[in-house]
Amino acid sequence: MSELLLVEDVNDNAPVFEANYTINVTENSSTGIRLLKVIADDADKGINGIVVFSVQKIEANTAAAVPSNLFAISSTGWLTLENDLDFEVAQEYFITVIAKDSGTPYLNSSTVVTVIVEDLQDSPPAFSNSSYDTSISETTPEVRL
């Protein structure tokens, strides 16, 4: 006579991120571009160990309002740029990403992705006045400009 013992996994482990993430992105980067993939592992087995990702909030080092749809993350962890960046508006963004397992009740954890916006010369040089006056003495030695 043989017996079969079935052991069910209890959802007792929250997902764990590998690290906090930082990425440099030029302000002229194309929308839709994949920036990076976040990774979180869950020690549970089966459905309890399946992890999905979402953006909880986006903050910036600016007083201006940050569009909530500036970045997006797929359920598999790919962070994408969804709208144009402008260094003159914000130089850094802080994206709180949530990893949630599929257990009942679910467990979750978070990490912060820092996006550093790299400036490009996107404004042409300009004079602050429309004209300038100066005078040079006729005894001034030759000067080349």
Domain positions in the chain are 16-118
pLDDT tops 70 at residue 33: yes
Nearest to 103 by CA among 40, 34, 16, 42: 42
Nearest to 62 by CA among 85, 79, 96, 28: 85
**Model confidence over 57-99: pLDDT tens digits?**
999 998 888 988 999 999 999 999 999 999 999 999 999 999 9
- The structure's pTM equals 0.79
pLDDT at 139: 81
Nearest to 26 by CA among 17, 14, 35, 39: 35
Binned at pLDDT 50, 70 and 90, residue 143 comes out as low
Residues 6+ apart with CB under 8 A from 25: 35, 81, 85, 115, 116, 117, 118
Q: What is the CATH number of domain 16-118?
A: 2.60.40.60
